[in-house]
Chains A and B, each alone.
Chain A
Amino acid sequence: MDDSGSVVAFWTLAALTVGSALMVVAVRNLVHAVVYLILSFVGVAGIFVLLSADFLAVAQVLIYAGAIPVLIIFAIMLTPRAARDNAETSLGLPALPLVGALLATIISIAVVTDWPEATRGGFEETTSVIGEALLSTYVLPFEIASVLLLAAMLGAIILVRED
């Protein structure tokens, strides 16, 4: 991954992702925060593309940039107007050293660890591999996830039904 294209792409996408994530917490309007969240998700999808994970990248766009923000928007619509301010809270100052410590821990671990470097092979087909894995090796988590989603849908319907 040393060619200039990949390097430029990586740093651009990283800047986009991290920058949007910072704007999510920094901006005042809650709906603007959702928009920056979408941008951040799209950045992550770009990084997946950089890692040759095509299925994951498109699934990221489909689920995270397409469906989750709708969910968040509906949640925002249901909150009363006064609580829609993404402004400062009193927890901002105590959280700063905590987050700083967490960030320092993660950076030091990332720098100190001896990462095994994978060679960059061909662009193999990931979709069929993921599909077969989901239905053979990981079939139990797959089924449990489906049942969980079914339970969530049924719960939502029961909650909103007028008797």
Chain B
Amino acid sequence: MAMKTEPFVVNIGPQHPSTHGVFRMKLTLDGERIIDVDMILGYLHRSMEKLAEERTYTQNIPFTDRADYLAAMTGNLAYCLAAEKLAGVEVPERAQWLRVIMSELQRIASHALAIGTFINDCGAWHTPLMYMLREREKVLDLFEMACGARLTVNYMRIGGVAFDVPDGFVPACRALVKEMPDRIAEYEGLLLENEILVARARGVGILPADMAIAYSISGPMLRGSGVAWDLRKADPYAVYDQVDFDIPVGTNGDSYDRFLVRMEEMRQSVRILEQGLDALPGGPVNVDIPVALMPPPGETYARIESPRGELGFYVVSDGGPAPFRFHIRAASYINLSALREMTVGLTVADAIVVLGSVDIVMGEVDR
């Protein structure tokens, strides 16, 4: 004898301590089970893409800081690669290696925050987050040393990087590289086999591999679902074909595997950093380009592996100083499209955990 209950709609967000930005989810609940998820985006829309059509190519670089504000270096890099492809600019050797070093440092910082907030969503009152933020602070100090800013770095330029790193950078970076593996081992020891974390995240938010590919998921979400795909190996940019690293792949496609993949990627980033610091050559760090760069008409799509997935820039030039069309293929936006698949049938608490494991940045989603 089934009891007839009415489904009711619960609105989570846009202001909510755990929706990672201004994101609104309308959950239709039947008791505690979710039967439908409706995502409402756009609360952080700043019409970046339209504004970019009024500015020169170099002036658009700060926009990319603010799109994915937790991974500004990689955002800069993707855009600069697109512009360089359009304009046919060659990047010097030292700048390539510096780009790789900065990208991997940014990956460590971003994953530290992502893992910390994920466990925060599982309910551990900020303790793992505070531990992770220790490492992130060190990376942000390095960024400040290199370019003066911690978050919105504006460091890459079309044709290289903005400034050369000061003298203290390489020793500080080496010190970080030396202590990171111990730190990561410490976090893994504390977190990996925590019964409650496993109970909260195991089997929650499963995304099968075929569905992940169908939804164009990328990044740690895709690798957590068992698909071995990393743009640094599949479509190498900068000098990634000259460094040796592995890509971690999960096997079950649940939130726990995505968390494991991010943890392991931090370790691999440290490996790349070591190789990068050893191989850093001398030389110029950027190329002279005109202030108002006017690439020949054409279109291009450049993509990189940002900490959240495939970040791509589709830039169309009409020969003028400003791009004709500037589109960001945001990783979080595409990754978010699978939220409904992963969440239907779970409880509200699980939905929060799944959202935390997707690792969205609303700046990127809404642009």
Contact = CB atoms under 8 A, between A and B. Distances in A.
User: Is any CB of A less than 8 Å from a CB of B in the complex?
Assistant: yes
Interface of A: 78, 159-160, 162
B175 interface: no
A111 to B, nearest CB: 50
A77 to B, nearest CB: 10
B1 interface: yes
Nearest to A162: B2
Interface residues of B, number: 3
4 contacts: A78-B3, A159-B1, A160-B3, A162-B2
A159 B1 CA distance: 6
Interface string B257-282: 00000000000000000000000000
Interface of B: 1-3
Nearest to A159: B1
Nearest to B2: A162
Query: Does more than half of chain B's interface fall in helix, strand or loop, or is it mixed?
Result: loop
A159 B299 CA distance: 64
Contacts, number: 4
A159 B3 CA distance: 9
A63 to B, nearest CB: 26
Nearest to B1: A159
Nearest to A158: B1
Of all A-B residue pairs in the complex, the 4 with the closest CB atoms, nearest first, are A159-B1, A162-B2, A160-B3, A78-B3
A15 to B, nearest CB: 41
Contacts of A160: 3
Contacts of A78: 3
Contacts of B3: 78, 160
A78 B3 CA distance: 10
A78 B2 CA distance: 13
Contacts of A162: 2
Contacts of B2: 162
B76 to A, nearest CB: 53
Contacts of B1: 159
A160 B35 CA distance: 19
A162 B2 CA distance: 7
A159 B2 CA distance: 8
A115 B3 CA distance: 52
Contacts of A159: 1
Nearest to A163: B2
A163 to B, nearest CB: 9
A24 to B, nearest CB: 27
Nearest to A80: B6
B198 to A, nearest CB: 27
Nearest to B5: A78
A160 B3 CA distance: 7
A162 B363 CA distance: 43
A122 B3 CA distance: 54
A115 to B, nearest CB: 50
A162 B3 CA distance: 10
A161 to B, nearest CB: 10
A78 B1 CA distance: 15
A162 to B, nearest CB: 7
A74 to B, nearest CB: 12
B88 to A, nearest CB: 64
A76 to B, nearest CB: 15
A78 to B, nearest CB: 8
A78 B4 CA distance: 10
A98 B153 CA distance: 85
Nearest to A78: B3
A160 B1 CA distance: 7
A71 B2 CA distance: 20
A124 B3 CA distance: 50
A75 to B, nearest CB: 13
B44 to A, nearest CB: 38
A52 to B, nearest CB: 45
B1 to A, nearest CB: 6
B121 to A, nearest CB: 29
A162 B1 CA distance: 8
A20 B347 CA distance: 40
A132 B3 CA distance: 43
B73 to A, nearest CB: 51
A80 to B, nearest CB: 9
A110 to B, nearest CB: 45
B30 to A, nearest CB: 11
